[in-house]
Amino acid sequence: MHLLSVLMDRHGRAGADGSRVMQLPLSRRDLASMIGARHETLSRIISRLEEDGIARFSGRTVHVAQPDSLLDEIRPSLLG
C-alpha cells in the first residue's frame, strides 16, 4: 500500500472532490514483483482496498476517493 501511495503522489491527478486518479505505470504482476509479493497476494490486497471502499481498480486505472484513508491504512502497518 505504501507503493500505491507513492505512485499516487507521483502520477495521480487530483479531482475537484479531493479524490486522486492515476494510471498505473506498471502491470499488477510487475508491481507485485517490486514489493516482493506474489501476484495473488497483490490481488488480495487490491480486493481488500476495494471492499473497504478505499480504492477502485479498473485495469490500470486506480481511483482513491479519500486519499487520507489510504494513508490511514499504511500507518498501522508501518508502526506494527
Rounded Cα–Cα distance for residues 16 and 30 (Å): 31
Closest CA to 26 of 43, 40, 7, 44: 7
31-80 pLDDT tens trace? 899 889 999 998 998 998 899 888 999 999 999 888 877 767 665 554 44
8-31 pLDDT per residue, tens: 888 899 988 889 999 988 898 998
In terms of CATH architecture, what is 2-79?
Orthogonal Bundle (1.10)
Domain ranges of the chain: 2-79
| Per-residue cell: 4 | 500505491
